[in-house]
Chain A
Amino acid sequence: MTDPQTLDTSQDTPQHPEDTQPVDKQPAQQAPRGAFAYAPAPESRSVVAIAPSYGHFIDGEFREAAGGKVFTTVSPSTEEVLSEVALGGPEDVDAAVAAARRAFGPWSALPGAERAKYLFRIARIIQERSRELAVLESLDNGKPIRESRDTDLPLAAAHFFYYAGWADKLAYAGYGADPKPLGVAGQVIPWNFPLLMLAWKIAPALATGNTVVLKPAETTPLSALFFADICRQAGLPRGVVNIVTGDGAAGAALVAHPDVRKVAFTGSTGVGKAIARTVAGTDKKLTLELGGKAANIVYDDAPVDQAVEGIVNGIFFNQGHVCCAGSRLLVQESVAEEVLDALKRRMATLRVGDPLDKNTDVGAINSPEQLARIRELADAGEREGAERWSPSCELPASGYWFAPTLFTGVTQAHRIAREEIFGPVLSVLTFRTPAEAVEKANNTPYGLSAGIWTEKGSRILWTAEKLRAGVVWANTFNKFDPASPFGGYKESGYGREGGRHGLEAYLDV
């Protein structure tokens, strides 16, 4: 994988030769803004050809919605209409599930080694077409090209490679001698990592012999439709992968469909709870990857510059549209001032703007609805008495934008310390003792991720053990890998994706 490190790599050693692209190695010391007025370095969008309209991908073919309805998808950075896609309803879901059911018998009967080869092919084609897909993803989602290019695409390919290798080794996975697939998997994914979430869902499902109906998010359907073309290029049998585009109604119909044997959802905790209620009393297997309010704990002995890079990466990566974002900074009181000064200096160097510019650190907010929610919560932070700070930063005139924002003087009772903002907004709290840090970190209904910054190994291990979170990053943040299980405690959902653990969700065990 390429490191999903977005803003700087100084907190860790470079991972791969290709990772050593030039980046700012040192946070600037009060650098004048002019120092960062780099000439634009735009990625060409000519590498991607977006059709004016797309249908559902069902049974190996694109088709219009049964009701003939469409909706548009826009580029959040320019509000330009990119394409028009089918608005799915229950009839479309029915057709897709029926196609997946027909395909299930032969697909699950294939020897694992043969299924593996299809997944390897898909992984290779994603790699070959990664530049095209990265540009597409940045256009449709608003994320910086550097992140789609260096994080989303390499990781999406890596997930197919990883699970391809499991397809013929399931007997060794620890789930019995001959674990069976479940049938049709209904998968609903969010808009923050459209193609990567697709890979997280589809790769393990296909490797274990299931067939899928996937509904991409309403605001980011395009990369899933391009993925349909990759399935065609790979010669994947008809009906093994079906894509139904649409809004929440299509997702609800998919989750409730009686022929769906497994439901996988990544998205908000509210929708996750509704899905859990829908699935109650059935024999559908369910995994949920939901919200988070991760604490990033900085102890007084942490290396400040590295910690600051980790904090910035933790909350401003992907505009903070990350369920495991480090949205609560818990900094030890004795170093709070020093850390905050360094953090503000570093934030002043973030470049917000055109996602297709390779210099861009922070792209566009995905939708006007999300922008409104971020604004509402940030305003609540001010109303409730926290102090708001943003670097001076010019936002583009069109599109949906929110400046990187820091709140100090936050208490545990503030909404900005309790609710998931899902935007580039960091709430800073302080603590005095490790026990207090752990107590504050765990004081949330969520339990997806956490960060720890300290030079002391025993303190890392003690803290990691006490934290009620599924992923704990020590002296790093926002690292992902297909070999590494990811998922939450408590209201962050159940089940794990990635690694050997990720197979369980798709096997009858």
Chain B
Amino acid sequence: MSDATANGATGAAGNTGRGAAARLSVLKTYKLFVGGKFPRSESGRVYEVADSKGNWLANAPLSSRKDARDAVVAARKAFPGWSGATAYNRGQILYRVAEMLEGRREQFTAEVAAAEGLSKAKAAARVDAAVDRWVWYAGWSDKVAQIAGAANPVAGPYFNLSTPGPTGVVAVLAPDTSSFLGLVSVIAPVIVTGNTAVVVASERAPLPALSLGEVLATSDLPGGVVNILSGRTAEIAAPLAAHQDVNAIDLAGADAALAKELETAAADNLKRVLRPQAGTDWAADPGTERLLAFLETKTVWHPMGV
């Protein structure tokens, strides 16, 4: 792809100025990713997505509250199977996602360059970092229980083990500051441990997220494990934060005022809340914070004796 634009949709320039032989490019209709399928928004609405210079790139679905609720239903439905899969299996599938991402490196580089106004080289570096991060998290699937679990030496004849398990359905507000590396950094830690996710893409730059859905759909990831919505973050996040069947929310993409509002709503069913941290460097080593934030510790006791 030679153009700086993300998807071959060069807008008004696409059909002029290249001489008579210029090919009319095929524009992409971006769609949501819900339950393993690619629906349009139930609302029938779209909004214009522009590159960093304000040039029109594409129309993205403007998700409604109903889309958010549908996504939660899909995520809940996928939870038993995904959380019940072996850690090895989940790790394999996450690694498969990385393989598919690598194959679409050029596409994502172009999308990231357009979204964030970066040179091609810098955008490529971010995409590489995102693929590497995805691989890093893939490797955590069968290790997290060993570092976050415990064999507890209780004062009695009991076999007593604590193991981490997924919290459930996690709503994820992707950061606005990093359309792809930031996005991957908030999705991978949530799902690698067996949670399912409803992701609200960056409002300003949703296209890399919507394209990620296409990668996930072809990576053996069961439908519904990751659901991706685009639109107005505040509008989609409100019903997610208040939803009785959402177990946790990652507020990475919320500003301070919205974060407070959502955290207050999340108290209603005692959702686990990961607060946003201003100035997060998405390129830095993420550590285990996001991984551990969406785990519950289950402790099982059994008597020992003969």
Contact = CB atoms under 8 A, between A and B. Distances in A.
A272 to B, nearest CB: 7
Interface stretch (B43-51, B110-118, B205-213, B257-265): B257-265
B267 interface: yes
A501 B150 contact: yes
A476 B302 contact: yes
Given A3-B156, A280-B263, A501 B301 contact: no
Contact of A1 (B155, B264, B272, B289): B155
B160 A484 contact: yes
B154 interface: yes
A281 B152 contact: no
Interface in B133-191: 147-148, 150, 152-158, 160, 162, 167
Counting chain A CB atoms within 10 Å of each CB, the highest count among B150, B154, B305 belongs to B154
B241 to A, nearest CB: 10
A474 B297 contact: no
B275 A486 contact: no
B264 A280 contact: yes
B267 A281 contact: no
Interface string B242-269: 0000010000000010011001101111
Nearest to B256: A281
Nearest to B302: A474
B279 interface: no
Nearest to A306: B303
Interface string B206-247: 000000000000000000000000000000000000000001
A269 B300 contact: no
Interface in A443-493: 445, 460, 464, 467, 469-476, 479, 481, 483-487, 489-493
Contact of A290 (B154, B160, B264, B270): B270
Nearest to B268: A273
A50 B290 CA distance: 49
A112 B299 CA distance: 28
Residue of B152, B156, B266 contacting most chain A CB atoms (<10 Å) = B156
A12 B305 contact: yes
Interface residues of A, number: 50
A283 interface: yes
A12 B299 contact: no
B298 interface: yes
Contact of A481 (B154, B260, B268, B289): B154
Contacts of A486: 299
A277 interface: yes
A60 B258 CA distance: 42
A261 interface: no
Contacts of A494: 270, 272
Interface string A195-235: 00000000000000000000000000000000000000000
B158 A490 contact: no
Given A484-B299, A487-B297, A273 B305 contact: no
B150 to A, nearest CB: 6
B296 interface: yes
A13 B260 contact: no
A250 B156 CA distance: 39
A121 interface: no
Contacts of A396: none
B267 A273 contact: yes
B260 A491 contact: no
B300 A472 contact: yes
Contacts of B154: 1, 479, 481, 483-484
Contacts of A273: 267-268, 270
A3 B299 CA distance: 18
B162 A475 contact: no
A496 B270 contact: no
Nearest to A483: B152
A89 interface: no
Contacts of A274: 267
A11 B305 CA distance: 11
Nearest to B277: A283
B299 A485 contact: yes
Q: How large is the interface on B (under 10, 10 to 19, 20 to 34, 35 or more residues)?
A: 35 or more
A473 B147 CA distance: 23
A269 B267 CA distance: 10
Nearest to B292: A504
Given A277-B264, A277-B267, A472 B301 contact: yes
B296 A15 contact: no
Given A273-B268, A281-B259, A281-B260, A481 B156 contact: yes
Q: Counting chain A CB atoms within 10 Å of each CB, which of B268, B269, B273, B301 scores highest?
A: B301
Contacts of B268: 273
Contacts of A479: 154, 156, 158, 301
Given A481-B154, A489-B296, A471 B301 contact: yes
Contacts of A269: 270
A481 B157 contact: no
Contact of A280 (B260, B269, B298, B305): B260
A500 interface: yes
Given A280-B264, A281-B259, A472 B298 contact: yes
A460 B260 contact: no
Contact of A281 (B148, B263, B270, B289): B263
Interface in A1-17: 1, 3, 11-13, 15-16
Contact of A476 (B263, B273, B303): B303
Contacts of A277: 264, 267
A178 B207 CA distance: 41
B301 A13 contact: no
B143 to A, nearest CB: 13
Contacts of A474: 300-302
Among B155, B267, B289, chain A packs the most CB atoms within 10 A around the CB of: B155
B249 to A, nearest CB: 12
Contact of B162 (A473, A476, A484): A484
A470 B150 contact: no
A500 B162 CA distance: 10
Interface in A408-425: none
A260 interface: no
Contacts of A472: 298-301
* 7 A-B pairs closest in CB distance: A281-B260, A276-B267, A280-B263, A481-B154, A15-B156, A13-B305, A280-B264
Given A16-B155, A281-B256, 16 more contacts: A1-B156, A158-B155, A269-B270, A274-B267, A280-B267, A280-B273, A290-B270, A467-B298, A469-B298, A471-B298, A472-B299, A473-B300, A481-B160, A484-B154, A484-B301, A492-B270
25 contacts: A1-B156, A12-B305, A15-B155, A15-B156, A16-B155, A16-B156, A276-B263, A280-B263, A290-B270, A464-B298, A467-B298, A469-B298, A470-B299, A474-B301, A476-B303, A479-B156, A483-B152, A483-B154, A485-B299, A486-B299, A489-B296, A494-B272, A499-B150, A501-B150, A509-B289
Interface of B: 147-148, 150, 152-158, 160, 162, 167, 247, 256, 259-260, 263-264, 266-270, 272-273, 275, 289, 296-303, 305
